[in-house]
Structure 1
Amino acid sequence: MIEILSPSELARARVTGRLVGDILAELRRRTRAGTNLLEIDAWTAQLIRESGAQSCYVDYAPSFGRGPFGHYVCTSVDDAVLHGLPHDRVLADGDLLTLDLAVLKDGVAADAAISFVVGERPSPQADVLIEATRTALAAAIAEVRPGARIGDLSHAIGTVLTGAGFPVNTEFGGHGIGSTMHQDPHVPNTGRPGRGYTLRPGLLLALEPWVMADTDELVTDADGWTLRSATGCLTAHTEHTVAVTEDGVEILTLPTSTD
């Protein structure tokens, strides 16, 4: 299913998107060495509840997971990159943490992810990975406009990631989003320009470049959810929900404050 949002639905999407951005920013502000992943999940549940929104994850049970997910935010550490199931783990200084959050408010969902290094210990390799995903996301967003093709966005992402020397996995990528979290069209993290679905005003896309330092192969934890690099290498993941507008693109999941 591909949804095209009306102007009133897009207005609601802006509210949901800003909420996702603000919750992620608040979680990052609170997280430090010594924080438990289960604390982050509890904070997320409280923030969602206080906002009058609903979690897209608690009851999420897709074919690829061992569902339902049962938690409010994905917490992926170091070699974990996607669908990290919160568990009893205390973060250490220098850990690379990815938080991935999707919520539904007033009938419209939004989805975003951030990667960052916990604490004060420098991690040059983590910084390179994170910057590659951010640059790839910016390149994809720059291609979003009416009449562009999904392949244009995928090509922009893949060009940045491979240009930085990283292999690209195409099992999981970006996706359409609207009244539900995951919709068509699928947005692979590499592709051929000029191919695929033609973008139209009112379409929402969750664009999410993610990368593993030295492999394109994933392995799944015994929890049935957490996806890790097959080699144990570091990973990173950055995501925004964007709207195709009449004259270009609008990023919906930016936080209220960028401080």
Structure 2
Amino acid sequence: MVVLKTKRELSAMREAGKISSRALRLAGEAVQPGVSTWEIDRLVREFIEKQGAVPTFLGYGGFPASSCISVNNVVIHGIPSKDAVIRQGDIVSIDIGATYEGFVGDNAWTFPCGDVSQEAQALMDATREALFEGIQAARPGNRIGDIGSTVQRYVEARGYSVVRDFVGHGVGAKMHEDPSVPNYGTPGRGVRLLPGMTIAIEPMINAGVKEVKVLKDGWTTVTADGKLSAHFEHSVAITENGPVILTLPD
């Protein structure tokens, strides 16, 4: 069931989004050669808790950290570790949720560690732009398929593939609400977008094939062919005047 948010609830989600976005910015600044993903996760948890919020991911379904940190060919759900040290040229996808006053702000970004290859930069650029193309399609009267098809067309025209096994989602009092928000689809199909809906749009785009596999830890998801992947996400409100990004730092 899709839950439409009131103005008060949207305001609370904006505050949660600010905290989550600021935590993500802090995490991105920490992406440096020699830094472990565990250290970045520690910074994220400390920041969120100092804001009076709760790290949404910590303990969610048994996840052991406050952020998902996925490097290079890891698509999503990378578990932070002291042994996972970031190197020059890596691309690092960081996904963070913060719960504040009962509502969730969920966002992700892929950060370069220093100078990266042209291939990596092009993939990140395309995935980021696909996110904003998808957000522009999130207008009242459109349908979920309009978002997914917009993302799909944008990245496939550039030679990339869209992950099918994981999708975006509704977000609000829970991190995962209805509706599902795939990054692929058919225009004019799916749930109709209405003012008050809040969704997380999150393209997960691979440089190679679309297939992925989950490792034995039950979380870490990697590209099936070992090629790079990028992940960008914003929580977005559907309003009468169009889409409003809820996960901005200011």
Same-fold status (TM-score > 0.5): yes
Which of 200, 204, 208 pairs up with 1:210? 204
SS at match of 1:186: strand
**Post-superposition CA distance 1:97-153 (Å, at most 9, x none):** 00001111001111110001112x332111111111111111111111211100111
Match in the other structure for 2:179: 185
Moved more, 26-35 or 230-239: 26-35
**Post-superposition CA distance 1:181-219 (Å, at most 9, x none):** 011111111100111111111111100011111111111
Match in the other structure for 2:58: 58
SS at match of 1:155: helix
Q: Does 1:114 align with 2:101?
A: no
Match in the other structure for 2:139: 145
Match in the other structure for 1:127: 121
For residues 224 and 157 of structure 1, the distance between their equivalents in structure 2, rounded to whole angstroms, comes to 28
Q: CA RMSD in A?
A: 1.0
List gaps (5 residues or longer) in structure 2.
Answer: none
For residues 199 and 235 of structure 2, the distance between their equivalents in structure 1, rounded to whole angstroms, comes to 6
**Post-superposition CA distance 1:43-98 (Å, at most 9, x none):** 1110111011112111211xxxxxx0010000000100111111121111111100
SS at match of 2:16: helix
Q: Does 1:102 align with 2:97?
A: yes
Shift of 1:173: 1.2
Contact 1:117 1:123 in 2 (8 A): no
Contact 2:201 2:233 in 1 (8 A): yes
Q: Does 1:89 align with 2:84?
A: yes
For residues 230 and 143 of structure 1, the distance between their equivalents in structure 2, rounded to whole angstroms, comes to 30
TM-score, normalising length: structure 2:
0.97
SS at match of 2:235: strand
For residues 55 and 159 of structure 2, the distance between their equivalents in structure 1, rounded to whole angstroms, comes to 36
**Post-superposition CA distance 1:218-255 (Å, at most 9, x none):** 11122211100011101101100010112111011122
For residues 236 and 10 of structure 1, the distance between their equivalents in structure 2, rounded to whole angstroms, comes to 28
Runs (4+) off by over 4 Å:
none
For residues 77 and 166 of structure 1, the distance between their equivalents in structure 2, rounded to whole angstroms, comes to 18
Contact 1:157 1:189 in 2 (8 A): yes
SS at match of 2:230: strand
Moved more, 87-96 or 71-80: 87-96
For residue 177 of structure 2, what is the amino acid of its counterpart?
Q
Identical columns (%) = 39
Write the mapping of 1:214-229 to structure 2, written as runs, cut at 5 A: 214-229=208-223
Write the mapping of 1:17-28 to structure 2, written as runs, cut at 5 A: 17-28=17-28
**Post-superposition CA distance 1:6-58 (Å, at most 9, x none):** 00000111111111111111111122111111101111110111011112111
List gaps (5 residues or longer) in structure 1.
Answer: 62-67
For residue 94 of structure 1, what is the amino acid of its counterpart?
G
TM-score, normalising length: structure 1:
0.94
SS at match of 2:141: coil
Contact 2:165 2:212 in 1 (8 A): no
SS at match of 1:92: coil
Q: Does 1:236 align with 2:239?
A: no
For residues 9 and 219 of structure 2, the distance between their equivalents in structure 1, rounded to whole angstroms, comes to 32
SS at match of 1:152: helix
For residues 171 and 92 of structure 1, the distance between their equivalents in structure 2, rounded to whole angstroms, comes to 28
How many residues end up aligned between the 2 structures? 249
For residues 220 and 177 of structure 1, the distance between their equivalents in structure 2, rounded to whole angstroms, comes to 24
For residues 225 and 122 of structure 1, the distance between their equivalents in structure 2, rounded to whole angstroms, comes to 26
For residues 87 and 131 of structure 2, the distance between their equivalents in structure 1, rounded to whole angstroms, comes to 28
For residue 234 of structure 1, what is the amino acid of its counterpart?
L
Match in the other structure for 1:64: none
